Amino acid sequence: MRILGVDPALIVTGYGIIDVYKNRFSLVEAGVIKTSSQQKLPLRLEKIYTAVKEIILETKPDALVLEKLYAHYRHPTTAYLLGQARGVICLAAATSNIPLFEYAATRVRKAILGRGQASKYQVQRMVASMLNINSLPKYTDVTDALALAITHSYISRSKV
């Protein structure tokens, strides 16, 4: 099974693709989609959409996984903007006929480390270890996306 995990944001969207075969993970590709805060919002959203569509076309994943939206009541604008980035990623999945799955951040941390309150650094180190990545990526968005993909592999396997 090939799984695409995406950690959406307007400035840096992380993505990671893994192959899962007989309980083993292999890293296919990982990286970031960057937009500039100097650009207007529609152009930034188009860049994210186009990049995700291209990744889907090139790598042909069996599933796309996003983190569930968590909105803090003190930052409603952030949630609103993040929701738009998530929306274009959902659209890319839908127009590519790729099943979309969502997991809460605490569920991802629990799947990766066994506890839902683990730090981003702990998740980053464990993901790097699981995928034999020798040096940690510059952006935690990449390992967050890979953690989403790994989590989906665990959850989808348990439902079979």
What tokens appear for 124 in the block? 């980053």
Q: Would you state the pLDDT for residue 148?
A: 97
Catalytic residues: 7, 67, 141
Is a pLDDT exceeding 80 seen at residue 52? yes
Q: Tens digit of pLDDT for each residue in 61-102?
A: 999 999 887 666 676 677 777 888 999 999 999 999 999 999
Average pLDDT over residues 105-126: 87
- Domains in the chain and their CATH numbers? 2-158 (3.30.420.10)
What tokens appear for 98 in the block? 């790729």
Q: Tens digit of pLDDT for each residue in 15-48?
A: 999 999 988 999 999 999 999 999 999 999 999 9
Is a pLDDT exceeding 90 seen at residue 118? no
Could you tell me the pTM of the whole model? 0.92
The DSSP result for the chain, as a single string, is -EEEEEE--SSEEEEEEEEEETTEEEEEEEEEEE--TTS-HHHHHHHHHHHHHHHHHHH--SEEEEEPP---TT-HHHHHHHHHHHHHHHHHHHHTT--EEEE-HHHHHHHHHS-TT--HHHHHHHHHHHTT-SS--S-HHHHHHHHHHHHHHHHHHHT-
Residue with more model confidence, 147 or 156: 147
